[in-house]
Structure 1
Amino acid sequence: MHDELSEQAKTICARHYNFKSRSSCLPCPLISECHKPCQAHTQEALSSWRERINRLAAQQ
């Protein structure tokens, strides 16, 4: 399991997300996983989400 987002994922997010307006995610290639609702709010669910985001970022 991953404890944090990969550097690739962070770079992609920084390129597409505007922290001031909290917008512009639409063209982001990670949006399909990033915006998926979480079934359970647990550490395991968060780790699984990070793993999916990191995997998707590695494919870019």
Structure 2
Amino acid sequence: IVLAAANFGLGTCWIGKMGFDETVKKALGIPEHMKVIAVTPLGYPDETPGPKERKSLSEIVHYERF
């Protein structure tokens, strides 16, 4: 869903379960026996962020030892 949204120019983010499932279930009319695993809000962004600066692999990957 997140990748498809980006393809259509929509902004989104994955929000994992954070203790708000009862509120979400009530707001969306989700049956009591179902669980909320995550939500992903959708919308058109005001601006498109540029590329992020990333650390090199040697800064974040350790081989066999730290």
Shorter-chain-normalised TM-score: which range? under 0.3
Query: Whose radius of gyration is greater, 1 or 2?
Result: 2
- TM-score of the aligned structures, taking structure 2 as reference length: 0.22
Q: Which has the higher helix share?
A: 1
- TM-score of the aligned structures, taking structure 1 as reference length: 0.23
